[in-house]
Amino acid sequence: MKKLRTYLEKPLTAVDLILFAFFGILCFLSFEQGGDLSHTGISSFAYLKGHFFDFYDYNKAIVIENNYLPSTYILYAIWNLPIHLFGLINETTLKVPLLALYWFKLLPTLAYFASAFLVYKISILIGLKTLISKCAAYAFLTMPIGFFSQFVFGQYDIFTVFFMLIGLYYYYKKNNLMFAVFMSLAMTFKYFPFLIFMPLLMLVEKNVFKIIKYSIILMLPLLLEVLIYLPSQAFRTGIFGFGATNYMFYASFDLTIVSIRIVVMLWILLSTYAYFKELSDDFEIIKWSLFLSNLVTFLIFGLSFWHPQWLLFAVPFWVLGTTLSKKFDIFMIIEFLIMVFFVIFTVNIWPLNVDQNMLTFGIFKSFIVGDINAGLTMAKLYIFNNLDILYTVFSSLLLVYVLFKHPKYQIEKVEDAEITGMGWNFLRIRFVLGISFFIIPAFYILIKNIF
């Protein structure tokens, strides 16, 4: 026990990488939400068949609808060239071989590792020591919610995160032009970066005309993609009719005839506060930018409904903010608690979908006897009848998590950043226990099904 305690309080070792590799490979091969990833991957073959301008119309007859802007499908079309040329898949089809599904999943997984490297580079850029910067990258890789999004759920929100992190890197290099350019690219995958971009820009740029200029740059790629496909009815239905984009507008104060959209009001207030906040010290700007970004993530995921994979967008800001905290170990505990309530909420709000059902799309699918959802389910193991209370606890934990990243609770100087033995301890434990809270019951159900 003493040896174990001594190991847990050490900085990163080869054992940590082995543990990450074990869980990563296990979850990569075993789980997949199935529908979204295969739908997006196979849709991209329309581009490989030459259907550039009629992409959305061509796919409508096969996959019904495409809900993303062209960037996601173009990126996948480039990635899918090898399996197209080797004949594994030659056309848009609803039948996706398991190897092709793994190929689809590999691209965002590589982007996930590249994003961790960017977290490391940003940490070095803002002045953190090499060991602390490596810890930040490892904390990004192993944050249970982010790990779940990438290796269990298996989605491509990481494309947004990747380009956004390049933008953030240039932001801290004080290059607002490149910040706007890469945030604009990130926005063509998912729209969340807009909510981060404005308060961060207004924190450091007080010239109204320059704010307008950078905002125009931010919108140009998105507008270009929209204008190219706007004549397509299938495009308009898929993009503008996608209901999930409206989740942030649901929380409101009802004024009988009209209502006040809470997230919109608070985001405008936050952005305005950033504009009037005067800072001259570089490290203060870094701390405030991360605090404001963390507050934005609460608006998106604490006051709005979400899909499980979306929370990956917030992970870089959560991790960087935690790395500058005076109480790194406490934030590791909170991250574990957030994961617990995230899992319980997820398996109850999406039963027979985001739970043991994801094993039916992985490497064990041929071993499953009948319907894995017919008997014991994760929703029965983690039964919680009041989803309102469940979400309220999750939201409250998230509020605590971001609120105490206010600069007054952060380190005074960047060279003060350190992680105690207990911090390293909790960093590892929150990863192993956090992800196990999902995969152990899932595999328990799988074993009961097989035997």
Give burial (CB, 10 Å; 0-12/13-18/19+) of 4: exposed
What is the C-alpha end-to-end distance of the chain, expressed in Å? 35
Q: Enter the tokens of residue 367.
A: 């071993």
CA atoms within 13 A on the CB side of 66: 31
> What pLDDT shows up at residue 33?
85
Residue 214: C-alpha distances to residues 69, 178, 211, 237 (Å): 21, 10, 5, 30
CA angle 431, 161, 426 (to 5 degrees): 15
> Tens digits of per-residue pLDDT, 388-437?
999 999 999 999 999 999 999 999 999 999 998 899 999 999 999 999 99
8 A C-beta contact, residue 244 and residue 307: yes
Residue 188: helix, strand or coil by DSSP?
A: coil
CA 212: distance to chain centroid? 28
Query: Whole-angstrom Cα distance, residue 275 to residue 198?
Result: 9
> Tens digits of per-residue pLDDT, 121-150?
999 999 999 999 999 999 999 999 999 999
Q: How many structural domains does the chain have?
A: 1
In terms of DSSP bridges, do strands 259-261 and 252-254 run parallel, antiparallel, or are they unpaired? antiparallel
> Tens digits of per-residue pLDDT, 229-242?
999 999 999 999 88
Q: What average pLDDT is seen over the chain?
A: 94
Query: Whole-angstrom Cα distance, residue 38 to residue 148?
Result: 18
Report the percentage of the chain scoring pLDDT > 90: 86
φ, ψ at 307 (rounded to 5°): -100, 145
pTM of the model: 0.95
Count the residues in the chain: 451
CA angle 52, 55, 57 (to 5 degrees): 140
> What pLDDT shows up at residue 60?
93
8 A C-beta contact, residue 146 and residue 155: no
DSSP symbol at 325: B
> What pLDDT shows up at residue 285?
98
DSSP symbol at 410: B
Range of the domain at 313: 2-450
Identity at 266, one-letter amino acid code: L
> What pLDDT shows up at residue 93?
66
The residue ranges of the chain whose pLDDT is under 70 are 1-9, 90-94
Q: Which H/E stretch holds residue 260? A: strand 259-261
Q: Enter the tokens of residue 308.
A: 């499980």
Query: Whole-angstrom Cα distance, residue 432 to residue 427?
Result: 9
